[in-house]
Structure 1
């Protein structure tokens, strides 16, 4: 844990020297993908996995939808990553449209396939703002899902955190109390939804500390190349898109390379500010593209690593 003096020194360094000069590479990263829907998307995903593999991520995660075909694609993707890429892979699992028996069947199959890490989520059904309705024989929330998974096998479990409050929560403290219940139920860590201000994360971290939450909380980073798409994502998770972001990307619709550069700059600056505040673990929402996440990790001092025997 960084001391106040260390943080002050880091803050001064971030202001007085080139932001990314001489960083020691003492960070770790994880990367999130979504299951492909076509052969072309599958090739794109696998290319991203191969590009990010040399960074030796803590884990990669694969999202999960309510439909049966999406579940199958998630399962196939996670199994392939473990089997062929040999990267620790976490499978997302939600309560949506699933009975407890359904969850057990999926979890037991994951365990049999070598999956030891689950990202346990309540999930959302329908349009943003629509109330969540649990399956009549299912889990009502992520806390119950975590307890159920722990009864099935000794999974390492991650849960979601919301620095700007989940849309369903009555107030920020109620949301923190819910996170604490999920961790107390057996989760190891929390991964935040994306945000665009380092102060947002730091205020959240301070609030968690005041509430007695001491489990690791990893900031989730979304490098934005499409503001309209990011705004759609934000609507379902309570994140705020700052007004200045529209201006930054204005006029770049037909300039994809420039858009990528702007996106990398914005996300890297956010990560550097988080680093200055003591953050050393990052979770990147890749949207199945490796370039931005790889570039940001590189700027933070992370370099490819070799395992003995490889």
Structure 2
């Protein structure tokens, strides 16, 4: 008899900037840990600007929690040798999940034309191939297992892309390079996710595509989200948040809108939900409670065999 399938649950965290932020982050981590997510992703700044802080967080997650970390890795602005060393370091440190990203161009002018220097790993599909090459040299350390490699997907057009069809071709190239799954950037309309999946399947993409959603509990956050995704702010939601008479009402409106996005995506066959937390647990837990996402029973190994 096959085991029942449960929607995947994951969160995104980012490394703390100072001691106060670190204390707050670890409160969030402990609150999220009890929900037993399948993984938590750990991001960092453009061109790995706070990579060492991210690696320190990954190390603590591996040694001090039950959580499985997914390490973000960007390729722009880094040499192939540097990236190879980082992947070896991650695998050697116990990381078994990597999110392979092109990343944002650094602000220091190292790549003024927006392109990595010749010989570097310029795009995410090439980074996926590099990870697989390093993995192939570490089979004994991995005990015949493998690293899970994720990539980004866009439910709306990537800001630098000429079309959504081009975005899907890029996604297909990432899968061909060896990616296992994709996580979408934020989106505002329930139809955005369904449209992406429809275009991707028609183009031949078969890997799971997980919708990424963030609690939209303030106009400040909504503006931030629209900037990150390169898409227009949802005006109706903006107006409702602006018209709220209290922070509590504003939070209820934002959580309800986020839950609607996630619920429709799950009804459309999404394999799970990825929550961008901004290192805050309260609204993320509100979304999770409202979704009533079915989770696998907590049981020992023997009971699950």
**Same fold at TM > 0.5:** yes
Paired residue secondary structure (1:55): coil
| Superposed CA offset, 1:108-154 (max 9, x none) | 11111100100010011157xx8532144421110111111111114
Q: How does 1:126-165 map to 2 (within 5 A)?
A: 132-153=114-135, 154-165=146-157
User: Is the counterpart of residue 237 in structure 1 residue 229 in structure 2?
Assistant: yes
Identify if the C-alpha distance between structure 1 residues 45 and 303 changes in structure 2 by more than 3 Å, giving closer, same or farther.
farther
Counterparts of 1:25 and 1:227 in 2: how far apart (Å)? 36
The normalised TM-score by structure 1 is 0.84
Which is bigger in relative contact order (C-alpha 8 A, separation at least 6)? 1
Q: CA deviation at 1:51?
A: 0.8
Aligned residues: 283
The one of 71, 86, 109 aligned to 2:51: 71
Paired residue secondary structure (1:92): strand
- 2:11, 2:275 within 8 Å by CA — same for their partners in 1? yes
Q: How does 1:1-310 map to 2 (within 5 A)?
A: 26-66=6-46, 70-125=50-105, 132-153=114-135, 154-252=146-244, 255-302=246-293, 306-308=298-300
RMSD: 2.3
What residue ranges of structure 1 are gaps of 5+ in the alignment? 1-23
Identify if the C-alpha distance between structure 1 residues 299 and 229 changes in structure 2 by more than 3 Å, giving closer, same or farther.
closer
Instruction: Tell me which moved more, 290-299 or 75-84.
Output: 290-299
Identify if the C-alpha distance between structure 1 residues 26 and 240 changes in structure 2 by more than 3 Å, giving closer, same or farther.
farther
- 1:100, 1:138 within 8 Å by CA — same for their partners in 2? yes
The normalised TM-score by structure 2 is 0.85
Counterparts of 1:165 and 1:201 in 2: how far apart (Å)? 12
Paired residue secondary structure (2:159): coil
Counterparts of 1:307 and 1:239 in 2: how far apart (Å)? 43
Q: CA deviation at 1:168?
A: 1.4
